[in-house]
């Protein structure tokens, strides 16, 4: 039996967009937000590229982009596409004939950069060929490759310049009969990226691909990407995402998938670990225990929300929404399911007990594990919490605060 992992009801509405299909993956029109990444291998090296595509699929990528920068790369795509587990998008720069070659290779999508293919006739030729095959095109505007005329007119890669470039390119594609179009207006400056997408969302109902371009290595690149992408997703803007990190692209896919899960935009498919930051009340090394729990449970491949709490005073209550958790206190580990303590074990055994309970929880379900709780453990947990408060004091000064609240409520 597998525990349900459906996301909670979202508190923000998705922006209505047109829907397109990219190799069978729906994009826009209320479809689940998809995760994209890009290979870093030479496309002509078919086996190495395919190995990375499979790794990206395993890490959570729904769509993978591959560079098509020469004839050998296009030939490599002809072998990669039929063996790929996910739709492949060809990344095209400068040479429009390579876009035509990628279409011949059978790619599911194209990404064109308006700043690099500037001849309208070439753009229309690619658009017509893509439309004939039913292949969507992403207009990928990048602050680092805007047309010089736009840069001169706007004085730099400001949001308005990115959006004008995108809308002009969409017009060229539509003239050639290509209507399956999604758009991105990426920028390395997070506030400018957010502003550009907000402006674009007001001007078109095309699906939008979100990303902070050239975000850099983790952790800084992760912070920039989350700041920009999450801001827009929580405003309902965005249909596909990519973390553009200076790192193994598998990290990009993992981060993108994790972000969507955290926001409730995709179903959780792996471990969600909750842990307290620790404080002076903790009687164990919370950081070390959390790392051990993460390592052990990830190896189990369980789709659970698990909490590691440093003490029993607030632990089970604060993490009551978790499927499973452990709270330490007085040499004991208090194991809880959905906030209810089900077992108390020696501190040295609590990680092992947590892993074992996780296996049983995944196999039997919540109700069965609550029914199997050890007798009297709730009283033991309550007494342990009371003893800890007595020994260390009530850091929250609960009684004092309640008395002040009562006085305020009953005063004249």
Higher pLDDT, 330 or 216: 216
On the question of pLDDT at 6 being above 50, the answer is no
At 310, the pLDDT band (50, 70, 90 cuts) reads: confident
On the question of pLDDT at 315 being above 70, the answer is no
pLDDT of amino acid 339: 84
Average per-residue pLDDT in the chain?
89
pLDDT tens for each residue of 66-84: 999 999 999 999 999 999 9
Q: Are the beta carbons of 117 and 165 closer than 8 angstroms?
A: no
pLDDT tens for each residue of 146-181: 989 999 999 999 999 999 999 999 999 999 999 999
8-state DSSP, 114: T
pLDDT of amino acid 286: 84
pLDDT of amino acid 44: 97
pLDDT of amino acid 285: 83
Helix (H, G, I), strand (E, B) or coil at 331: coil
Beta strand 20-22 with 25-27: parallel, antiparallel or unpaired?
Answer: antiparallel
pLDDT of amino acid 379: 57
CA 127 to CA 100: how far, in whole Å?
A: 9
pLDDT of amino acid 166: 96
pLDDT of amino acid 4: 40
* Contact partners, residue 52, CB within 8 Å, separation at least 6: 39, 40, 41, 249
In the chain, what percentage of residues exceed pLDDT 90? 67
Tokens of 49: 């590229």
Tokens of 287: 């950081």
At 381, the pLDDT band (50, 70, 90 cuts) reads: low
- Element housing 252 (H / E): helix 249-262
CA 143 to CA 138: how far, in whole Å?
A: 16
Beta strand 109-112 with 88-92: parallel, antiparallel or unpaired?
Answer: parallel
**Domains of the chain and any CATH numbers:** 20-262 (3.20.20.20), 272-392 (3.30.413.10)
On the question of pLDDT at 280 being above 50, the answer is yes
List alpha helices for 146-219, DSSP H: 148-154, 159-175, 190-203
CA 335 to CA 343: how far, in whole Å?
A: 5
On the question of pLDDT at 387 being above 80, the answer is no
pLDDT of amino acid 321: 81
Exposure pattern of 78-89 as b/e (b: 16+ CB <10 Å)? ebbbeebebbbb
pLDDT of amino acid 355: 94
On the question of pLDDT at 378 being above 70, the answer is no
CA 240 to CA 64: how far, in whole Å?
A: 12
What angle (nearest 5°) sits at the alpha carbon of residue 34, between those of residues 259 and 195? 70
On the question of pLDDT at 100 being above 80, the answer is yes
pLDDT tens for each residue of 10-39: 557 899 999 999 999 999 999 999 999 999
List the single range of 48-57, 64-73, 130-139, 275-284 with lowest mean pLDDT.
Answer: 275-284
Q: In sequence order, what E strands does 180-248 have? A: 181-186, 209-210, 240-241
Alpha carbon 378 to its chain centroid, in Å, reads 37
């Amino acid at each position: 039996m597998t525990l349900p992992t459906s996301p909670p009801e979202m508190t923000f509405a998705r922006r209505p967009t047109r829907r397109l299909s990219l190799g069978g993956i729906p994009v826009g029109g209320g479809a689940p937000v998809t995760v994209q990444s890009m290979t870093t291998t030479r496309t002509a090296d078919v086996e190495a590229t395919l190995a990375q595509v499979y790794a990206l699929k395993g890490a959570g990528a729904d769509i993978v982009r591959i560079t098509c920068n020469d004839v050998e790369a296009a030939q490599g795509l002809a072998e990669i596409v039929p063996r790929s587990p996910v739709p492949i998008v060809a990344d095209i720069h400068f040479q429009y004939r390579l876009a035509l070659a990628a279409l011949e290779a059978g790619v599911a999508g194209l990404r064109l950069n308006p700043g690099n293919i500037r001849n309208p006739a070439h753009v229309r030729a690619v658009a017509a060929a893509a439309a004939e095959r039913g292949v969507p095109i992403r207009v990928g505007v990048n602050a680092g490759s805007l047309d010089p005329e736009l840069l001169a007119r706007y004085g730099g890669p400001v949001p308005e310049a990115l959006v004008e470039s995108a809308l002009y390119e969409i017009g060229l594609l539509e003239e050639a009969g290509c209507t399956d179009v999604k758009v991105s207006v990426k920028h390395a400056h997070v506030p400018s990226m957010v502003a550009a997408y907000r402006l674009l969302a007001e001007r078109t109902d095309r699906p939008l691909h979100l990303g902070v371009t050239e975000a850099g290595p983790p952790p800084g690149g992760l912070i920039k990407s989350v700041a920009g992408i999450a801001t827009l997703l929580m405003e309902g803007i965005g249909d596909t995402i990519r973390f553009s990190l200076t790192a193994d692209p598998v990290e990009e896919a993992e981060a993108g998938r994790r972000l969507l899960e955290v926001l409730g935009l995709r179903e959780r498919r792996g471990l969600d670990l909750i842990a307290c930051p620790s404080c002076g009340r903790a009687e164990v090394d919370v950081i070390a225990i959390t790392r051990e729990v993460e390592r052990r449970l990830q190896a189990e491949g369980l789709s659970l929300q698990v909490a590691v709490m440093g003490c029993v005073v607030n632990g089970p209550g604060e993490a009551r929404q978790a499927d499973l958790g452990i709270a330490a206190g007085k040499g004991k580990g208090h194991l809880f399911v959905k906030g209810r303590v089900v077992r108390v074990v020696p501190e040295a055994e609590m990680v092992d007990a947590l892993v074992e309970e996780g296996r049983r929880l995944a196999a039997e379900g919540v109700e069965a594990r609550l029914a199997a709780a050890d007798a009297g453990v709730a009283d033991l947990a309550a007494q342990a919490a009371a003893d800890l408060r007595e020994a260390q004091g009530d850091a929250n000064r609960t009684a004092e605060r309640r008395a002040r609240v009562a006085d305020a409520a009953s005063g004249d």
